[in-house]
């Protein structure tokens, strides 16, 4: 079937509709062309979803691979399809079809949320007051957008008690539990199981790279900091990876394609995984950095790339410690820092253990953080693409 009469509904206009052997082809009036395969259309028939949960009920194996449209048409609001099997008829909203088109004309790069930064972040880090954050969801929404953009923010004047950090984190979502528990305390102790529990300096790193999925966002709340030294350090891994890709593309390729063993173990646990140090999606967009020198296990890649990989890893380490990218902040009582643990590396300078220094930490997963951001965006009528 062919139609060449433009019809408009809420700004969505069909220029033409063509029925082929395996798909419907639509040309929209803005010039974009879209192909909708029959299996895709049948799988997404609105009648195949629960009216309340909106979860799919349709079973794809209930139709044959050769299912096809025997008739199709459209009006100002909908596309209508009659199917070759079970006398089934489907009705699709034009707006929905346009929004979910998957052809090349609709495959523009997703909106980039992250705005990579270097040392200049020290003077423009996003700050918010605890009281404002706790009482106003609009303030929460703006804060979440800033954290998503920069990967880091400070909350000031958080009560210095056990509930302070959970009050902030649970404004977003549930806490992520790890082998360190839901809440962990960072202070110098005897017989530590982790370098964080000493007074030594900590190199920049990502937490728990040995996990199948490292925690998404980390919260660190300073209860007391009377020690000399101990400044917190941060660097944006995405900015550093951009620099690596531009200056040494072969190193970037090795670090984003070759998997390495990662491990944490103590008397109670032995948690291992294997991943590339740099993770990109199928389109080459950055997803995460898994960099932690004290949690990478013994490298075991093929001998023909071992030396090249070490040189690439060394190059990354040099960039991570480049003064152009590292910021340093001395936390004080009541400060809370949140950062994207799969993007922003953190560390600290050594401190004099004769002065008290006590931080409490916890995690919230990225998926839960993004969920909260999407829900608030709907409440405030702000369209968020690429999230």
> What pLDDT, on the 0 to 100 scale, is given for residue 10?
54
pLDDT per residue as tens digits for the range 147-192: 999 999 999 999 999 999 999 999 999 999 999 999 999 876 545 5
Helix (H, G, I), strand (E, B) or coil at 127: strand
In order, the DSSP letters of 39-101 are: HHHHHT-GGGB-TTT--B---GGGS-TT--EEEEEE-SSEEEEEESSTT-EEEEEHHHHHHT-
Q: Which residues contact 248 (CB under 8 A, 6 or more apart)?
A: 312, 315
Pair 9, 79: CB distance under 8 Å:
no
Q: Which domains does the chain have, with CATH numbers?
A: 7-106 (3.30.2020.30), 119-379 (3.60.130.10)
Give residue 7's pLDDT: 42
Can you tell me whether residue 172 is helix, strand or coil?
A: coil
Q: Taking the model in full, what pTM does it have?
A: 0.88
Token digits of residue 313: 């890893």
Q: Which residue from 34, 179, 1, 28 is spatially nearest to 102, judged by alpha carbons?
A: 34
Map residue 340 onto helix, strand or coil: strand
Q: Which of 206, 182, 230 is closest to 358 using CA atoms? A: 230
Largest CA distance in the chain: 82
Task: Say what the pLDDT of residue 9 is.
Answer: 44
**149/278 Cα distance (integer angstroms):** 19
Pair type for strands 184-186 and 336-340:
unpaired
Q: Give the pLDDT confidence of 36-58 residue by residue, as tens digits.
A: 999 999 999 999 999 999 999 99
Identify which has the larger pLDDT, 73 or 7: 73
Asked if residues 348 and 232 have their Cβ atoms less than 8 Å apart, the reply is yes
CA 58, CA 51: separation in Å to the nearest integer?
13
| HSE-up of residue 10 (Cα within 13 Å, Cβ side) | 8
Long-range CB contacts for residues 269-273, cutoff 8 Å, separation at least 24:
269/179, 271/179, 271/210, 271/211, 272/210, 272/297, 273/209, 273/210, 273/211, 273/212
- Average pLDDT of 237-261? 98
**pLDDT at position 31 over 90:** yes
């Amino acid at each position: 079937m062919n139609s060449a009469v433009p019809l408009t509904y809420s700004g969505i206009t069909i220029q033409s509709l063509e029925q082929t052997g395996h798909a419907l082809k639509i040309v929209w009036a803005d010039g974009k062309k879209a192909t909708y395969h029959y299996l895709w259309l049948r799988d997404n028939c609105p009648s195949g979803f629960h009216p309340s949960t909106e979860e799919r009920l349709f079973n794809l194996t209930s139709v044959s691979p050769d299912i096809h449209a025997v008739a199709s048409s459209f009006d100002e609001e909908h596309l209508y399809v009659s199917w070759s099997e079970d006398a089934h008829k489907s009705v699709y909203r034009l707006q929905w079809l346009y929004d979910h088109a998957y052809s090349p004309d609709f495959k523009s790069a997703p909106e980039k949320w992250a705005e990579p930064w270097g040392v200049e972040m020290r003077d423009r880090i996003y700050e918010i007051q605890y009281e404002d954050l706790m009482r106003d969801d609009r303030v929460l929404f703006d804060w979440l957008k800033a954290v998503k953009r920069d990967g880091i923010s400070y909350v000031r004047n958080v009560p210095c008690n056990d509930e302070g950090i959970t009050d902030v984190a649970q404004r977003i979502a549930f806490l992520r539990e790890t082998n360190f528990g839901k809440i962990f305390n960072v202070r110098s102790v005897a017989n530590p199981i982790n370098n964080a529990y000493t007074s030594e300096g900590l190199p920049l790193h990502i937490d728990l790279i040995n996990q199948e999925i490292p925690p998404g966002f980390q919260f660190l709340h300073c209860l007391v900091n009377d020690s000399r030294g101990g400044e917190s350090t941060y660097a944006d891994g995405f900015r550093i990876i951009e620099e690596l890709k531009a200056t040494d593309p072969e190193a970037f390729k090795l670090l984003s394609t070759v998997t390495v063993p990662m491990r944490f173990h103590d008397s109670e646990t032995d948690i291992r995984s294997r991943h590339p140090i740099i993770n990109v999606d199928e389109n080459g967009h950055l997803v995460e950095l898994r960099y932690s020198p004290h949690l990478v296990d013994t490298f075991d890649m093929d001998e023909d790339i071992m030396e090249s990989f070490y040189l690439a890893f060394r190059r990354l380490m040099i960039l991570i410690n480049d003064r152009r990218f590292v910021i340093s902040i001395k936390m004080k009582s009541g400060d809370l820092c949140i950062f994207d643990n799969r993007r922003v590396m953190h560390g600290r300078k050594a401190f004099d253990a004769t002065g008290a220094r006590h931080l409490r930490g916890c995690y919230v997963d990225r998926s839960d953080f993004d969920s909260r951001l999407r829900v608030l965006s709907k409440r405030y009528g702000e369209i968020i693409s690429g999230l």
